[in-house]
Chain A
């Protein structure tokens, strides 16, 4: 079974500061990895994903994440926070290549609420 752990349910940063949201996964084979963002009363919007290939992936709005197999991590970063980045962020996994798990069923972490201070 797959699982996802997001360290820190609440993260606060100052505007212009580095954003670092942590995600670790547990899976018997490397899963597909995703970061989604959710604004209040909205659905989930994809920020970026890792399936295969380059381990550093770039997403929308200046976010990027690096897949580190040895650390089973997929942390999300952004060099400079903007007020509009305040939202809840979810890391998710699905069955990767060679996995018996479904590639379409997402397992989510518990989410990290990002606050950006002026």
Chain B
């Protein structure tokens, strides 16, 4: 069974630009969550999509958005990039059944210059 696939692995963007990150969950998993990991703030929850609907959202500005497609693949978008957006963005795939664990992708390392 293929794992969680995130693309691209590395990105370098300029302040003010926008970026789109992609996540393909494990086949059959309906829930996709996104997390931001930085040395200063640690791992923080961005949002979760389940069956194409955003179910939960963390405390991030509206510049951070996402969506989920009918095949459960998900994208997250960050507009008007700031230097502080430099981070490892992790996608987590979950079957959606209570008590099951999340499976993480290898992440996308975003550097904003």
Contacts and interface: CB of A to CB of B under 8 A. Distances in A.
Interface of A: 32, 34, 36, 41-46, 49, 51-52, 90, 92, 97, 102-111
A67 to B, nearest CB: 13
Main SS at interface, chain A: loop
B104 to A, nearest CB: 4
A105 B101 CA distance: 10
Interface string B42-55: 11010010100001
B81 interface: no
A102 B56 contact: yes
B62 to A, nearest CB: 19
Interface of B: 4, 6, 31, 33, 35, 42-43, 45, 48, 50, 55-56, 90, 92, 94, 96, 98-99, 101-107, 109
Pick from A52, A105, A107, A108 the residue with the most CB of B within 10 Å. A105
Given A104-B94, A105-B33, A34 B104 contact: no
Contacts of B55: 102, 104
A106 B103 CA distance: 12
Contacts of A52: 99
Contact of A111 (B6, B42, B56, B101): B42
Pick from A32, A41, A104 the residue with the most CB of B within 10 Å. A104
Contact of B102 (A97, A106, A111): A106
A100 B11 CA distance: 37
Nearest to B50: A104
